Amino acid sequence: MTIPLSAPDIEQAEIDAVVEVLRSGRLSLGRRMEEFEAGMAAYTGTAHAVAVSSGTAALHLAIRALGIGEGDEVILPSFTFIAAANAVRYERAKPVFVDIDPHRLNLDPKRIEEAITPRTRAILAVHTFGVPAAMDEILEIAASRGLFVIEDACEALGAELAGKKVGTFGDAGVFGFYPNKQITTAEGGVVVTNETEIAARVRSLRNHGREPAAEPHEYYEVGYNYRLSELHCALGVEQLKRIKTILLGREAIAVAYHQRLGRLEKIELPILDVPGGRVSWFAFVVRLKQSDGKRRDEIVCELGRSGIEAGRYFPAIHLQPTYRDATTEHKSLPVTESVAGRTIALPFFNRITDRELTLVCEALEELA
């Protein structure tokens, strides 16, 4: 592909930091991990940040640390990356899918209440594509029903509501740093929380169930190998230093797309802002105005043939083969199903050039 869908933004400082770790001889559970965790806690404004091997691992440990398990239900959107639902199932809990707001493409608070049962333990709010979810309403529902709130902010580092970073409103929030994210650690994730007990349990679970201050080879519960290496953390430390510039640059790319594609009558553009908040641009996802999954797929294929990589973000989870079983209720989610069949993720990365933007927009205009 001449224009990729995404690409990491790596500078010499990141390369030097990784090389320094390789030469140090300390490759895991060292100073760079502590530095990255402290940086994430400071940036998000939380008391604790715990680095783990991926955003999926962060979701899994947040769910487990809250004691959610077999027979429990977790409310979440179907229009998101499948890891959110998978992490619920890792603990033998049941994902309960509700429909999305057609504007923000996040959980529709009006649909949450009707999905709550005596088995409901938590609401998993996803800040899809970096757009903040309606946290005020979600938190109000959760408080009235005694439910946990977990925020999947894997696509939303830097997004805000009322001057507060997303991922910090609920009992725990998670971030991911895959190479297509705003900043990357190659692979990696972080759990943030203001609850000391939650942070301590996540720290133990990521390292096979060992307590940090315990004697060697003393394990207090069945845990996992979800550690994040010093190499990954060193990369994250350097990336985090540039977060402000990176977010502003991505915002400028989104605005440029809006200006160039605004005249296309058959295309619906993503929202640029939310009241009292800030979008953090993970991806630029347009929608065909008519529900036609076949035509969407044809456009994606034609873009690919012309050297422009595009994506289908996101297929509805509840329609996936692995979710058509007894663990979930197969029900219609009309907004989710309509949106999922019309989305086209366009090339979006920190260093995309003006020429590349022009080529993408001209190709889409011709096809749409």
The pTM score is: 0.96
Task: List all residues 6 or more positions away from 216 whose beta carbon is below 8 Å from its beta carbon.
Answer: none
Distance CA 350, CA 329 (A): 40
Least confident of 56-70, 169-183, 204-218, 243-257: 204-218
Spatial separation of the C-alpha atoms in residues 174 and 87, rounded to whole Å: 12
CB 8 within 8 A of CB 361: no
Band of residue 212 on the pLDDT scale cut at 50, 70, 90: confident
Residue 235 has pLDDT above 60, yes or no: yes
**Token pair listed for 362:** 């001209």
Q: Residue 322 above 80 pLDDT?
A: yes
Give residue-wise pLDDT tens across range 106-161.
999 999 999 999 999 999 999 999 999 999 999 999 999 999 999 999 999 999 99
Given the residues 110, 164, 181, 289, the one annotated as active site: 181
pLDDT exceeds cutoff 90 at 324 = no
Question: Partners of 94 in the beta sheet?
Answer: 73
Tokens at residue 48, please? 């604790």
Residue 328, pLDDT score: 58
Query: Alpha-carbon distance 123 to 331, whole Å?
Result: 19
Instruction: Give the confidence band of 80 by pLDDT, cuts at 50, 70, 90.
Output: very high
pLDDT per residue as tens digits for the range 221-234:
999 999 999 999 99
CB atoms near residue 251 (< 10 Å): 18
User: Which of 17-26, 74-83, 292-301 is the least confident region?
Assistant: 292-301
The rounded distance, in Å, linking the Cα atoms of 73 and 95 is 6
Question: How many residues are recorded in the chain?
Answer: 368
Q: What is the pLDDT of residue 217?
A: 77
- Could you tell me which of 312, 285, 310, 319 has the C-alpha nearest to residue 85? 319
Query: What single letter denotes the amino acid at residue 85?
Result: A
**Tokens 């962060």, residue located:** 58
* 164 catalytic residue (yes or no): no
Pair of tokens at residue 296? 């969407």
Which pLDDT score, from 0 to 100, does residue 115 have?
96
In this prediction, residues 261-274 reach a mean pLDDT of 96
pLDDT at 125: 98
CA distance 228 to 185: 9
From its phi and psi, is residue 92 left (phi > 0), alpha (psi between -120 and 50) or beta? left
Does the pLDDT of residue 87 top 70, yes or no? yes
Q: What domains are there in the chain, each with its CATH number?
A: 12-241 (3.40.640.10), 243-367 (3.90.1150.10)
* Four-residue CA torsion sign, 228, 133, 281, 317: positive
